[in-house]
Amino acid sequence: MTAPDLHALSAGPCWCEDGFTRQLGAGFHVDLPAQPLPEPHWVARSAALAAELGWSDWLASDDALALLSGHGDAGLLATVYSGHQFGSWAGQLGDGRALLVGEAETALGRREVQLKGSGLTPYSRMGDGRAVLRSSIREFLCSEAMHALGIPTTRALAIVGSALPVRRESVETAAVVTRVAPSFLRFGHFEHFAHTAADPAALRRLADATIERYFPEHRGSAAPYAGLLETVTRRTARLMAQWQAVGFCHGVMNTDNISMLGLTIDYGPFGFLDAFDPGHICNHSDHSGRYAFARQPQIGFWNLHALAQALLPLIDDQDAALAALEPYKTEFPDAFLAAMRAKLGLASARDEDRDLVDDLLRRMAADRADFSITWRRLAAFDSAAGAANTALRDLFIEREAFDAWALRYAERLRVEASVDAERAPRMNRVNPKYVLRNHLAETAIERARAGDFTEVQRLQRVLERPFDEQPEHDADAAFPPAWAQQLEVSCSS
Ligand code: AMP
Ligand code: MG
């Protein structure tokens, strides 16, 4: 198998001959040409990611624009996977519109580079292989915003746009997002070889290569596949804790959208909470609320059971497979409580903290307090003032219930001799001021559709520093406007 010959990019990516996905061989992927976007133009680029990869100069070049819009002369790859969608087995899926350019040696280590929206593949099913500008902007902004929040995620290097029409509910225009990650492996890749292809030898090859490359701690162990499952379990649990702590709702937690590496992947109808509603459903197409905000940790566990089922032919012992999932039950609550303690600015751990957290979340839910604003205002909590913290108190309707909580919090701070002036900056490093609220993305999208990409780029820069005050961008951290409640985001992308 020959590697992509991307020689012309002198200062650009250095492609590996023996990339992980290509090495898996036939059966795992197909070679394909991209279907280039006609007359591509830049919409946005992540200077931060380019610098981290060592590709800053290259990303300014015409070569980069050509490659990232599918005009390169290299062979690309689409991988096959399957999965459970909305709780039901969906059979074969696959990269229906994402093509792997290859794996590059970068300043961050080896990274796979994928073009999303680059044309039809054998796995496109009824789709057109394209992505619209609207969803590409959302994926680009959120990938980089999540990274800045310290949450594991696939990254986004650039968006290229084109006038090419794409039909969704209405006619929109096409775009391609370049995604970068150590691997785009999903639970669904394993489910595919376990169930659809029902090929134990291929399943073993995939699992062995995955362990060899991404989970070397299980290399040569007596129970490598159960070990792999346990590590993925722990990573998924920690990722769920991070999503819950920041108010991120993924929207389509199907097993084909869940990363083996514990990364946030496949940004579709995601949303950050505005008013806190645990039952919030960010995906307009999720009629039953399967992927409602508060259900995400449970769904993470459900998905791990699907992965366990897929790995069972290799683990060969149902009890061992179930035992590998067991750590989820402690890893998630422990990680969540640790995150919540940090959000409350607590430096020590006490038994009553769980109640303190639960009670605050209950108060926030009952009064639909804005999630990000509440946590951010908490940093300014004056522990001597107790219930008289008006900026915070004003977020709650049931003032007396809030006052009772505030007194408990003040007492808890007193117990660990917390100093307000020291606690506040610590809290501001974990409670973001800026998150990608739907209405912010929407405004940027509207301008971009009219040909003005400056709002996308401005928002991107703001979200790169989510914990910094950036007073000139206060408006982006304010309560959402009334029209934001009417925004509906569906799977259509
Ligand atoms: P999603 O739920 O967006 O992750 O998509 C589920 C499956 O449908 C994946 O295999 C995608 O590659 C595929 N898919 C989604 N949109 C398109 C499209 N416009 N063209 C081709 N395939 C698509
Ligand atoms: Mg997907």
Q: What is the DSSP string of 20-78?
A: HHHHH-BTTEEEE---PPSS-EEEEE-HHHHHHHT-HHHHTSHHHHHHHTT-S-S-EEE
- Measured at the alpha carbon of residue 366, what is the angle toward residues 473 and 284, in degrees to the nearest 5? 65
Half-sphere exposure of residue 285: CA atoms within 13 angstroms, side-chain side: 14
| C-alpha to C-alpha distance for 64 and 9, rounded to whole angstroms | 8
pLDDT tens profile 352-378 = 999 999 999 999 999 999 999 999 999
Give the containing element (helix H, strand E) for 265. Answer: none
Judge contact between 381 and 420, C-beta under 8 A: yes
| Cα 127 to ligand 1 centre (Å) | 7
* Mean pLDDT over each residue of the chain, to the nearest integer: 96
- pLDDT over 80 at 1, yes or no: no
Torsion angles phi and psi, residue 308, rounded to 5: -60, -45
**Is any ligand 1 atom within 6 A of the Cβ of residue 266?**
yes
Across the range 257-268, mean pLDDT stands at: 98
- pLDDT over 70 at 23, yes or no: yes
Note if the pTM is more than 0.95: yes
Q: Examine the residue annotation and report whether 355 is marked as an active-site residue of this protein.
A: no
**Is any ligand 1 atom within 6 A of the Cβ of residue 95?**
yes
| Cα 18 to ligand 2 centre (Å) | 25
| Cα 153 to ligand 1 centre (Å) | 19
**Is any ligand 1 atom within 6 A of the Cβ of residue 252?**
yes
Across the range 22-48, mean pLDDT stands at: 95
| Burial (Cβ within 10 Å: 0-12, 13-18, ≥19) of residue 216 | exposed
| Cα 379 to ligand 1 centre (Å) | 41
DSSP notation for 196-221: IS--HHHHHHHHHHHHHHH-GGGTT-
Residue 175 banded pLDDT, cuts 50, 70, 90: very high
Given this model, what pLDDT does residue 32 score? 94
- pLDDT over 60 at 4, yes or no: no
Given this model, what pLDDT does residue 491 score? 80
Token code pair at residue 291: 């992927």
Across the range 267-284, mean pLDDT stands at: 97
| C-alpha to C-alpha distance for 311 and 331, rounded to whole angstroms | 21
Judge contact between 457 and 44, C-beta under 8 A: yes
The number of the ligand 1 atom at minimal distance from the alpha carbon of 93 is 10
Q: Which residues contact 186 (CB under 8 A, 6 or more apart)?
A: 81, 83, 255, 256, 257, 258, 259, 260, 265
| Cα 86 to ligand 2 centre (Å) | 12
Token code pair at residue 383: 């522990």
The number of the ligand 1 atom at minimal distance from the alpha carbon of 268 is 3
Nearest CA-CA partner of 99 in 64, 132, 133, 72: 72
- pLDDT over 90 at 387, yes or no: no
Judge contact between 206 and 28, C-beta under 8 A: yes
The number of the ligand 1 atom at minimal distance from the alpha carbon of 256 is 4
- Give the residue, by CA position, lying nearest to ligand 1 atom 13: 96
- Give the residue, by CA position, lying nearest to ligand 1 atom 6: 93
pLDDT tens profile 83-103 = 999 999 999 999 999 999 999
**Is any ligand 1 atom within 6 A of the Cβ of residue 105?**
no
User: Left, alpha or beta for 87 (phi > 0: left; psi -120 to 50: alpha)?
Assistant: left
Ligand whose nearest atom lies closest to the CA of 286? 1
| Burial (Cβ within 10 Å: 0-12, 13-18, ≥19) of residue 482 | exposed
Question: Which amino acid makes up residue 377?
Answer: R
Given this model, what pLDDT does residue 12 score? 81
| C-alpha to C-alpha distance for 250 and 267, rounded to whole angstroms | 7
- 31, 57, 199, 256: the catalytic one is 256
- Give the residue, by CA position, lying nearest to ligand 1 atom 23: 96
| Cα 493 to ligand 2 centre (Å) | 11
Given this model, what pLDDT does residue 10 score? 47
pLDDT tens profile 428-440 = 999 999 999 999 9
Given this model, what pLDDT does residue 11 score? 65
Pocket test of ligand 1: the residue of 97, 128, 493 to mutate, having most ligand atoms within 8 Å of its CB, is: 97
**Is any ligand 1 atom within 6 A of the Cβ of residue 94?**
yes
pLDDT exceeding 90 applies to what percent of the chain?
93
Given this model, what pLDDT does residue 7 score? 43
Torsion angles phi and psi, residue 324, rounded to 5: -70, -20
| C-alpha to C-alpha distance for 51 and 285, rounded to whole angstroms | 38
Report the DSSP pairing between strands 76-79 and 14-15: unpaired
Biggest CA–CA distance in the chain, Å, is 69
Contacts by residues 286-294 (CB-CB < 8 Å, ≥ 24 positions apart): 286/86, 286/251, 286/252, 288/86, 290/86, 290/87, 291/249, 291/250, 291/251, 291/252, 291/253, 292/249, 293/244, 293/247, 293/249
